[in-house]
Amino acid sequence: MFEDAERCYRAVQSRDPRFDGWFFGAVTSTGIYCRPSCPARLPKQANMRFFATAAAAQQAGFRACKRCRPDATPGSPEWNQRADLVGRAMRLIADGVVDRDGVAGLARQLNYSERHLHRQLVAEVGAGPIALARAQRAQTSRILIETTALPMAQIAFASGFASIRQFNDTIRAVFALTPSELRTRSDATALRSGIRAPTAIASAGTISLRLPFRSPLDGGSLLDFLRARVVTGIEACDDSTYSRSLQLPFGAATVALTPLPDHIACSIQLDDLRDLPAAVQRCRGLLDLDADPVAVGAFLDRDPLLAPLGRKRPGLRVPGHVDGFELLVRAIVGQQVSVAGARTVLGRITAALGTRLASPSGGVTMQFPSAAVIAAAAPETFPMPKARAATVQRVATAVASGELVVDPGVDRAEVRERLLRLAGVGPWTVAYVALRALSDPDVFLPTDLGVRHAMEQLGEAGGARAISARAEAWRPWRSYALMHLWTSLSA
């Protein structure tokens, strides 16, 4: 529970949606917890308690507000920023590791004991890994109940519950409704708003949902960045929608993402519904939806060099990626070649080694080849210089063997060190991987040609050392400053 109740209460008084996801306010007189921007009548401060996570509020005995739906808020920006044990654990729990591998598997990935991990999470966020995973299962269940016509038993097991009874008890405890009542309520809301009922939404395996974010969001720049780097077969992008294939723990998937003024329209086609939490979390990371653009913008706008860029593109995000290994290969292939040239090479690698999807969607027909497949491929398969092809296979071998892991739960500093020890992997590649695969908010590329050209256009000529020194003023948000510089070139 947060100790600074006065500060949290002022945020609730302001009903500012920027604070949604940062913390949750619970009302002792009603037994309900809400997002800070809830439009309901303001409770007395003496009747409010504040929690860092929905799981902590649920564990304290509070149920979710039916009006503001606090379970559907953007995630806290804190977990993307933090590189410590708690930040890494929160990212892995959001990816569904506890549901797949249990608390023991989570602790093993983090290289800590279960006891120490539980102690750290309770101290920092007010709930242990089991409670945090339970809150996420409840949210996944609500999405499936409201957006599909699947039987409740199938929803229960797809959401990660071990039994129907556990599923029913959790839904009643979190939402104060039975699963059937939750679906009936959703059907009634859909009819009033003119939206099709869930029974008419989609075939089994396809989920349509809304991904929330903190405003503002520059969706046009996100699409421009991703469109310029589309690899034929695994990605497609038109004027409004970005689509791609995903390789998830239980099977393949395709996703289509459309930025809209108040949310991201997301359509996911899954081979296995148990992959829904992982798919949603990876899409959120891809579009950097948990960022706090107002806080980042206010900091960078203090610099006269970046202030005009920030005014042109408020809400600019740092595009992440859905697969760390794929991004690592993209970074190596893209060394010292144009973006268009890298796309061509990656398309040929995908065509030669990728896996064809059982259910293609539009232009998305393939999956990027796995690390094991690339490591075992003949060297002549790779249409690039021999030294670079050897680097790709060297990295793939390290990932396939488990020696190198590139996912949201890794220690960022350790991954950087391991990558630099691999022959053929230089500082630019390592920084680019940290920027997009590890979602590090404080990455800068002073040797990048695009950065140098952007700085020259802004009247800041100089070499890499001078540019690096100038960028020190942009800590801890240098990744966003970097995106502003890159984006300024397209303007």
Reading the block at residue 459, the tokens are 């009247």
CB-based contact 127:103 (threshold 8 Å): no
CB-based contact 485:300 (threshold 8 Å): no
Q: How far apart are CA 253 and CA 369, in angstroms?
A: 14
CB-based contact 277:211 (threshold 8 Å): no
Q: How far apart are CA 318 and CA 426, in angstroms?
A: 22
Q: Which residue has the tokens 């708003």?
A: 193
Q: How far apart are CA 453 and CA 449, in angstroms?
A: 6
CB-based contact 304:251 (threshold 8 Å): no
CB-based contact 264:287 (threshold 8 Å): yes
Catalytic residue (choose from 34, 237, 266, 283): 34
Is 448 considered catalytic here?
yes
Could you give the angle at which helices 324-333 and 427-436 cross, rounded to 10 degrees?
Answer: 140
Q: How far apart are CA 257 and CA 211, in angstroms?
A: 9
Catalytic residue (choose from 71, 218, 440, 448): 448
Reading the block at residue 487, the tokens are 């984006």
Q: Which residue has the tokens 């791609």?
A: 244
Is 68 considered catalytic here?
no
Residues 6+ apart with CB under 8 A from 96: 136, 160, 249, 275, 277, 278, 281
Q: How many CB atoms lie within 10 A of CB 402?
A: 8
* β-pair partners for 254: 245, 269
Torsion angles phi and psi, residue 320, rounded to 5 = -95, -145
Catalytic residues: 34, 448
